[in-house]
Amino acid sequence: MSDKLYSNKFCLSNTDNTPHEFFQNFDKINIIEMEPTIQNIHENVFEEDLSVVIDELINLILKELNEGKDEGIIKQHVHNFINNYKLISKEIYIWLLNNQRDSNNTCLLGYFNYYGIETNIDKKKAIKLYQKAAELENNVALLYLAEMYIHGKHVDKNCSLAFELSKKLADKGIPNAIDKLGYCYEEGIGTNINLQKAFELYQKAADLGNSNGINNLGWCYEEGIGTDINISKAFELYQKAADSENSYGLNNLGCCYDSGIGTDVDIQKAFELYLMAANLENKFAQFNLGVMYEIGSGIEKNMNKAIHWYKKSAKQGHGNAIYKLEGLSIIYDNDFDI
């Protein structure tokens, strides 16, 4: 399971053994707005105590992390939540700056800094705020830190701490953490590799409705990780994850249709699935699109679009995309700026 975020893969072309991808016509995947969960919030709540709103926003983020929602969808739902109540995000940001005695406030301020909501993007400041909130046992902050330590994203990779945080939260029954702990056991992050344990944890996360767990369980069945290979079961699980708009499930299901794994080959269907995943910023789907355009697999060959998708994937650190751009830069005598 190399070069992936949890169990996410790229496909091998049926024609030349090169990974492939879809064209994306920039149609955005439909994002369903979250229904309001706070009752009777005054439109001019800015002059009052916003703690109830902050708590609900943190609960929303936690809920969607546990469902396995992609970060872009969660961010959109946070904006939808604020807009649905006619709140002003700038007012919330200022209120957070002046009210840092609660872990939810600190965590949300970190979230605003991480994504540049009413302020410049400042990952370092966001991480410090997450760490401060984590010291107060804030589950959302702990989940974000565990993710960062697992992959070394904006922080030094810390396998021991990643495992410790994942286990601590998994012991609380938090689905997102249960899935992370499964990944730690699968890859030997902060612990010995235990594929049976990984499979069991993915199954538990999947049973709790976490779409990453569902997708990873599909990977286990496809590759025989901690269980017997069962391609039809893998396809079924990828479909279930994709139905939840999980970008990794969408990409993996696209690979199934692309290569005829558990189903008949259907390049158009694969294209549609890659497109949705790439629109959700999935680097594997973006890379697959680049290859499809480069070799003209199921779509008209277009090197400009191929390079476009390789660059988007490479910006997220996809090693194969970076390698592709390096090769193309020699061919085209063009130093493609990532």
Phi and psi of 19, rounded to 5°? -55, 145
Mean pLDDT of 84-88: 86
User: Over 60: is that where the pLDDT of 1 sits?
Assistant: no
At 162, which CATH number? Answer: 1.25.40.10
Q: pLDDT digit string (tens) for 144-195?
A: 999 999 998 889 999 999 999 999 999 999 999 999 999 999 999 999 999 9
Q: Domain check: are 298 and 322 in the same one? A: yes
Q: Domain check: are 223 and 280 in the same one? A: no
- What's the rounded Cα separation, in Å, for the pair 46 and 87? 8
User: What local confidence, expressed as pLDDT, does residue 297 receive?
Assistant: 78
Model pTM score: 0.83
User: Over 80: is that where the pLDDT of 71 sits?
Assistant: yes
Pairwise pLDDT comparison (72 vs 9), residue with the higher score: 72
- Sequence-ordered list of residues with C-beta below 8 angstroms from that of 254, at least 6 positions apart, any chain: 11, 22, 269, 270, 271, 272, 273, 274, 277, 285, 288
- Sequence-ordered list of residues with C-beta below 8 angstroms from that of 91, at least 6 positions apart, any chain: 46
Structure tokens at 27: 């149609």
User: What local confidence, expressed as pLDDT, does residue 154 receive?
Assistant: 86
- What's the rounded Cα separation, in Å, for the pair 74 and 61? 7
- Sequence-ordered list of residues with C-beta below 8 angstroms from that of 56, at least 6 positions apart, any chain: 37, 38, 81
- What is the extent of the structural domain holding 96? 48-58+65-148
Number of Cβ atoms within 10 Å of the Cβ of 90: 12
Single residue among 148, 179, 210 that ends a domain in this structure: 148
Cβ-in-10-Å burial (0-12, 13-18, 19+) of 159 comes to: middle
**What totals of helices (H) and strands (E) does the chain contain, helices first?**
16, 2
User: Over 60: is that where the pLDDT of 106 sits?
Assistant: yes
User: What local confidence, expressed as pLDDT, does residue 25 receive?
Assistant: 34
| Contact call for residues 229 and 206 (beta carbons, < 8 A) | no
Q: Domain check: are 310 and 256 in the same one? A: yes
User: What local confidence, expressed as pLDDT, does residue 338 receive?
Assistant: 64
Single residue among 92, 114, 148 that ends a domain in this structure: 148
Mean pLDDT of 285-306: 90
